[in-house]
Amino acid sequence: MCPHLKLRFWQPTPYSRAAMPSRAGLSLIELMLAVSTMLMIVVALTTMAHGVHAGAEYSNGYGTATQHARVTLDRVSSAVSKTYSCENYPGAWVFADTAGSYTFPDTLVIWWPTTTPANSAGPPLMNELLVFCQDPSDTGTLAEIRCPTDGTPWSAYTNASAMKLQIDKFKTSVGAQKTVVTDLMRVVTLGGLPAGSRTTRPGLRFEVQMTPTLAEMSAYRAGSKTWKSLLWPQGMYGSKTGMRQVSVRTEIQLMPGRVWSANSPGSKTAIPYLGSTAFTTKLTQ
């Protein structure tokens, strides 16, 4: 090795503390902005989660209510299609309660004997009747009521108030057998009623229409109308016989649920369902 050649190795020179770069922290404004941004994200996520929960709850409730409505309307339709009827007892009746200026046609009575009717020309026996109405012990429940042990005849068709009085007693009689059809009916709270009146009613309405009516047939029997002048549906009459048509319409308002965990007023809106069925009866001169 050449004595004049010297090897020199590079060695890092340590930085002094003063020469090292400084690392500054967040300012107060930057910290507040970061916290505000995080809060906005949390609120947005919470709101979205609540909306998703309420939507899912409503969708599930809507499906349940629709299933209840389908069963309810099918049961009413099945009962109406199997009704027995004659000239003075058309097989289907609606009775209404009144309170103040309100009318509540929420009781449907069907003449549905399980065997041959005891009196084919009427009146029906009470144990041959099937009643659809609110459960007397729960406004939000629609019940189907029979009373197999009550063999007394119903009142004459000319005395509507006596007929209704018997039905009102029928609903709460000792021998009454109740079948719950749905427990999702809307409950309406009314104000401005006289003292002692019921302030809650179900979202339920029945309507019965018939042609020719009982009044028209009475007028014909009294000689003030002719057979031909009666309002026969679709001209269904002959020289000695004619067909009376009786139609039963049902409106029921159901809630998507009875108990809600989501605080969403829109999810608690009642859903209306409509149904209609009809049957015909032969009338003779």
State the DSSP string of the chain: --TT-------PPPPPGGGSPP-----HHHHHHHHHHHHHHHHHHHHHHHHHHHHHHHHHHHHHHHHHHHHHHHHHHHHHHT----SSS-SEEEEEEEETTEEEEEEEEEE--SSS-S-TTSPPBGGGEEEEEEETTEEEEEEEEE-TT--PBPPPTT-HHHHHHHHHHHHT-TT-EEEEEES-B-EEE--SPPTT---EEESEEEEEEEES-HHHHHHHHHTSS-TTTS--GGG-B-SSEEEEEEEEEEEEEE-S-SS-SS--GGGG--EEEEEEEEEEEEEE-
CA-nearest of 260, 256, 284, 258 to 272 is 256
pLDDT on residue 11:
58
User: What's the rounded Cα separation, in Å, for the pair 50 and 55?
Assistant: 8
41 pLDDT above the threshold of 90: no
Specify the higher pLDDT residue, 269 or 89: 89
C-alpha neighbours within 13 Å on the C-beta side of residue 120: 2
133 pLDDT above the threshold of 80: yes
Per-residue pLDDT reduced to its tens digit, 238-250: 989 999 999 999 9
15 pLDDT above the threshold of 60: no
User: What's the rounded Cα separation, in Å, for the pair 50 and 71?
Assistant: 32
22 pLDDT above the threshold of 60: no
Specify the higher pLDDT residue, 251 or 49: 251
Backbone angles phi, psi at 44, to 5 degrees: -65, -45
267 pLDDT above the threshold of 60: no
pTM over 0.75: yes
Measured in whole angstroms, the distance separating CA 183 from the mean position of its chain's CA atoms is 8
Give the burial class of 86: count Cβ atoms within 10 A of its Cβ; 0-12 exposed, 13-18 middle, 19 or more buried. buried
CA angle 109, 102, 250 (to 5 degrees): 35
Among residues of the chain, what percentage have pLDDT more than 70?
81
Residue 12: other Cβ atoms inside 10 A? 5
Confidence of residue 170 (pLDDT cuts 50, 70, 90): very high
57 pLDDT above the threshold of 90: no
- Taking residues 192-204, report their average pLDDT: 79
Confidence of residue 216 (pLDDT cuts 50, 70, 90): very high
pLDDT on residue 236:
85
